[in-house]
Amino acid sequence: MIPETEPSLTIVTNPLFRLHQTPPGHPESVSRIDWAIEGVERAGLAVESVEVLPEATDRLIAKTHSENYARELDRACLDGASIFDCEDNPVSRSTGAAARAAVGTSLAAAERIWNAKTSKRAFVIARPPGHHAERTTAMGFCFYNTIAVVAEYLREQPGISRVFILDWDVHHGNGTQHLFEDREDVFYSSIHRFPFYPGTGASRERGVDAGMGTTLNLPMPGGIGDAEWLGEFEAQLPHAIDDYRPDAILISAGFDAHRNDPLGGMRLSTDAYRQMTRTVVDLAYKHCDGRVLSLLEGGYDREGMAASVAVHLDELRRTGPA
C-alpha cells in the first residue's frame, strides 16, 4: 500500500453549537456534543474548531432552502419565539446562529477534503441536526439541512459531478430525499426504521422525473439487530455505490439505531457502526480517492453515542482500503 501524503482524518466542531438551547428533558440537548467528544477521546483523537465560510454559508443556505426561510428563522429567534414551525423544534435566541454555524463548519470541513486536500476524511460534530429539514419547513429537531447544503457546495466544485449521500440515522431523512429526489447528480440512500417518524422512506420511493433511480431506501422493521440491518446494508449499498460511481461520499451519521438509544427502538451493537463505516471507506477508496465527510445527526444516549463515535472514527482514520 502506498502511504498517503495527507492526514487521514479531521474532526471539527464549533462552540456556537452550544448556544442552541432546548427545554429540560428535550432529547436534542447540548450534552450530545459532549457525548460525541467523549467518543473522540476514547479513540485517542482530538477535536478542533474551524473557521466557517460565511459568504458561502449564506449563499448556499439560500440556494438549498430560501432567503425568506432563513430570515423567518432568524426573526423567530430574535423575537423570542419558543418554537419554530413545529413543537419538535424549540428555539432560543441563538438557534439560528447555531444552525448556520453547523452549515458553515461542515462547509469548511468539505473545503479541507475536496479543495485544500489537507485531509482525506472529516467528522463534523454539529448540532442542531439537519436531515429532516425541508426546503421551507423545520421539523424533527432540524432547521437547515446541513448535509444537503454540503452536497450543493460539492456539486459546484470542478471534477465533482455525482455526490452520494448515505443516511444511517434510525429516522428517514425526508428533507434530504425531497431536496434531491428529482435530480440525478445527487444519490440519496437511507437505511432506517420503518414505519416510524417521519413516515417517509418506503422502498417504493426511488426518485422522480430525472432523479428516478437515484433514491434508495432500505426500510427496516423495529426491534431488529445487527444481522438483519447489516445483511440488508451489505446486500444493497455496495451495489448502489458501484453502479453510481460517485465523486464524493457524504454520511448522515445518526447513532440512534443503537440498542441503548431511548428513541430508536432498534438493537444495533456498537460494532455495527464500525462495520458500516469500514464498508463506506473501502467504497470511497474505490471511487473517490478515499474521501468521505461524515456529519453527526441523531443519537440520544451517552454510552451509545460515545462508543459508536469511537469505532466510527477508528475506521474513518484508516489509511488505505481494508
Strand duo 292-296 + 248-253: pairing: parallel
Q: How many alpha carbons fall within 13 Å on the CB side of residue 240?
A: 26
- pLDDT averaged per 10 residues in sequence order, the chain, 322 residues: 70 96 97 98 94 86 94 96 96 97 97 94 98 98 98 97 99 98 98 98 98 98 98 98 98 98 98 98 97 98 98 95 86
Q: Does some domain include residue 267?
A: yes
Q: How many domains does the chain contain in total?
A: 1
In this structure, what CATH number is given to the domain that contains residue 179? 3.40.800.20
The pLDDT value given to residue 311:
98
Q: Does some domain include residue 6?
A: no
Sequence-ordered list of residues with C-beta below 8 angstroms from that of 87, at least 6 positions apart, any chain: none
**Nearest residue to 133 via CA among 79, 71, 168, 84:** 84
Strands ordered across the beta sheet of 215-220: 48-49, 9-13, 121-124, 292-296, 248-253, 163-167, 186-193, 215-220
Q: Does some domain include residue 25?
A: yes
Q: Does some domain include residue 3?
A: no
Q: Which of 65, 131, 132, 258 is catalytic?
A: 132
Q: Does some domain include residue 1?
A: no
Q: Is 132 one of the annotated active-site residues of the chain?
A: yes
Q: Does some domain include residue 85?
A: yes
The pLDDT value given to residue 2:
45
The pLDDT value given to residue 261:
98
The pLDDT value given to residue 44:
97
Q: Which residues face 13 on adjacent strands? A: 49
Q: Does some domain include residue 250?
A: yes
pLDDT tens sequence across 125-152: 999 999 999 999 999 999 999 999 999 9
Tallying the residues shown for the chain, one arrives at 322
Q: Which residues face 75 on adjacent strands? A: none
Q: Does some domain include residue 4?
A: no
What is the domain range of residue 246?
11-316
Does the predicted TM-score (pTM) go above 0.95? yes
